[in-house]
Amino acid sequence: MAGALRFLLSSCLLQGVLCADWTALMPQSIGALKGSCVRIPCSFTLGFLKSVDYNPCLKTHSCNAIWMRGGTDKRNTVGSSPSGNLNQKDCTTILDNMPTGDTYYLRLECGNCVKFNFGTPVQINIADTPPTPTLTPATVEVMEGTSVSLICSAAAPCPSLPPTLTWTPRLGQSEKGLQENQDKTQVKTSSLTFTASYLHHEQNISCSALYKQQDGKNVLSPETSLTVTVLLSVSPSGPVVEGSSMTLTCSSNANPAVSYTWYRVNGVQVTTVGSSRMLTIQVSADNSQFYCEARNDHGTQNSSVIQLDLPYPPMYTSVSVSPSGPVVEGISVTLTCSSNANPAVKTYTWYRVNGVQMTSIGHGEKHQTQVYTDQRKFYCEARNVHGTQNSSVFELDIMYSPKNTSVSVSPSGSVLEGSSVTLTCSSNANPAVKTYTWYTIRGGRGTPVNNMPELTVQVLTDNSKFYCEATNDHGIQKSSAFQLDMMYPPKNTSVSVSPSGSVLEGSSVTLTCSSNANPAVKNYTWYRVIGGQVTSIGHGDKHQTQVYTDHRQFYCGATNDHGTKNSSVIELDVLYPPKNTSVSVSPSGSVLEGSSVTLTCSSKANPAVKNYTWYRVNGGQVTRIANEKELKTKAYIDNHQFYCKARNDHGTKNSSLILLNVLCKYNIPNILEPQVITY
């Protein structure tokens, strides 16, 4: 078995087969005093060997811990005094009379069973003077009458020569002890306990460590110190009830004796409230912070401010915002609720205000939200066991482009055409609107006319529709088109007829009067024109009538509060059969028998006469002789009676019978005019 163990160890030493399982545990570095000893806390593991007792070889051979300085060469071996039990894998060792600092390596030898150099060294740092002790706590601020405990700690590298700790001044009893750090190095401690009084206020307390070297010399460490601050004493101590009485005592150490002055602190306001060593007060929320001043011929000194432990509900609740200042609409901000309360605020609740509506939106000291123009007012509620308080409503300064841009007019309401009005452009924006631009709308297009908030215009038919544009650094918005309510008398009065186009005489038509007016036309009046005579025939925007050739010209008049306007005369296109058919003779008068005459047939008709027909009457016999407007013939005694017929699409009409006055060549009577006989 021993041979097998040696083989494994040899393999480890030569090939590193099990080296990862062979470790020595010790501090990376240790501080020590020159000329004194140093204790190296040390333990080791041998991998699979749980204990040296498991191996017969190790049972029969004792083990030695060898320390080598600066390397693993055995020629560098230094004298040492093992203090640990190697059989328990404790390789703690004491090195004496340390000269200078260096690295030290551990070698373990157990006869021929184990010979192993551990690769991890310990760095020993040697100093000519001891390190400064440590004071805990580093600062002391206590109420008068309170017990104070201070601990002074100093490194103890040499267990046989631990340092001696000394307090200056000696304020009370101290207890000494030896403690182990996590890395197994040791420290000497001294605990000083005393009761704080006004005599200790601003007093300096120090601790020093005296070390002894192995040659008998003493070396003193630098001292460490702290200053004690003793606060005012309060009677009774602890929490107080609002309205109760308390006594404050001011203490100061001085020669000659001092005079005292008491001050009350309320926010930034400081008020003198007393001038004796003791001050009796009635406690309230705004009467809970005090300090005193001690004065003699050589100077003054103020105490710290004392805050009485007064339970009270939240006070001075307020809201702050980050980022501060104006913010652009739509970004996120963080709201913070602050409040003064004792005990501290337990719950913060956030509310958003919109008009008269308040909505709970969250809990916690801080609240993050996106801001909009209709979501910019907030407040918070602070609550503890004694009550609640709301902050004032906090309104964020939100920057946004123009909104709700609109036009107003002065004077308001309807205006008479030709009068002047003032238009005002209004818009909600932050920052305020930088530029206003006015546009007049003609033909569906806007034309800029002004760059001021107000525009004065003369109201005309083609100058009554406007809009404005508001601009700031964040955008532009246009108002809706604004149409002035312009009042004017009737214009463009006209007549239309139904059915439209030509109408047959005697039929009915409906005439409609139209007019543009504001206010609307109040009444319409209808007129008929016959020759130069005008006759009123009815009222209303519509008029129904039967049409005749002598009843075909009409017009209407439109009237409102501002005037009247007549339409043009409308002449209906009345269709009728021929009327007033007649015959004329050329030459007129008597004609000599056998001479030529021209007879012309005339008739009034709509549409015009389409054809004419001539007839000759001889006794009782009627003969059609021609189909034209004019008839050229020779006059004879038996050829002197004629009439004509006029025809269009709507009928016919005969003329009267005309008798030519034919003169016989041989008997010329008195000249007579032709006779017309109705036929």
DSSP string, 548-584: BTTB-EEEEEEEETTEEEEPPPEE--EEEEEEEEEEE
19 φ, ψ to 5°?
A: -60, -35
Give yes or no: residues 6 and 118 share one domain: yes
Closest of 531, 538, 567 to residue 552, by C-alpha: 531
Q: The CATH number of the domain where 650 resides is what? A: 2.60.40.10
Nearby residues of 276 by Cβ (< 8 Å), 6 or more positions away: 260, 262
Give yes or no: residues 449 and 563 share one domain: no
- Name the domain boundary from 210, 230, 250: 230
Give yes or no: residues 57 and 171 share one domain: no
pTM of the model: 0.42
Give yes or no: residues 330 and 302 share one domain: no
Give yes or no: residues 618 and 668 share one domain: yes
Nearby residues of 172 by Cβ (< 8 Å), 6 or more positions away: 192, 193, 194, 195
Give domain status of residue 525, yes or no.
yes
Give domain status of residue 479, yes or no.
no
Nearby residues of 549 by Cβ (< 8 Å), 6 or more positions away: 505, 574, 576, 579, 604, 606
pLDDT tens digits along 97-118 = 888 888 989 888 887 777 888 8
Q: What is the largest CA-CA distance in the chain?
A: 204
Asked if pLDDT for residue 7 goes beyond 50, the answer is no
Give yes or no: residues 206 and 99 share one domain: no
Give domain status of residue 480, yes or no.
no
Q: Which residue has the higher pLDDT, 69 or 110?
A: 69
- Name the domain boundary from 204, 230, 256: 230
| Spatial contact of 459 and 419, defined as CB atoms under 8 Å apart | yes
| Spatial contact of 125 and 32, defined as CB atoms under 8 Å apart | yes
Domains in the chain, number: 7
Give yes or no: residues 412 and 525 share one domain: no
Q: What pLDDT is attached to residue 219?
A: 85
Give yes or no: residues 359 and 415 share one domain: no
* Span of 367-371, 395-399, 571-575, 662-666 with lowest mean pLDDT: 662-666
Asked if pLDDT for residue 575 goes beyond 80, the answer is yes
Give domain status of residue 477, yes or no.
no
- Name the domain boundary from 436, 471, 506: 471
Give domain status of residue 481, yes or no.
no
Give yes or no: residues 113 and 8 share one domain: yes
Give yes or no: residues 218 and 298 share one domain: no
Q: Which residue has the higher pLDDT, 223 or 429?
A: 429
Give yes or no: residues 33 and 123 share one domain: yes
- 281-295 in b/e form (b: 16+ CB < 10 A) is bebebebbbbbbbbe
How many Å apart are CA 166 and CA 192, to the nearest integer? 10
- Give the side-chain half-sphere CA count within 13 A for 486: 23
Across the range 289-298, mean pLDDT stands at 88
How many Å apart are CA 243 and CA 430, to the nearest integer? 49
Question: Which range among 2-16, 76-90, 365-379 has the greatest average pLDDT?
Answer: 365-379
How many Å apart are CA 92 and CA 82, to the nearest integer? 6
Q: Which domain, by its residues, includes 224?
A: 134-230
Task: Convert 175-186 into a string of H (helix), E (strand) and C (coil).
Answer: EEEEEECCCCCE
Give yes or no: residues 512 and 566 share one domain: yes
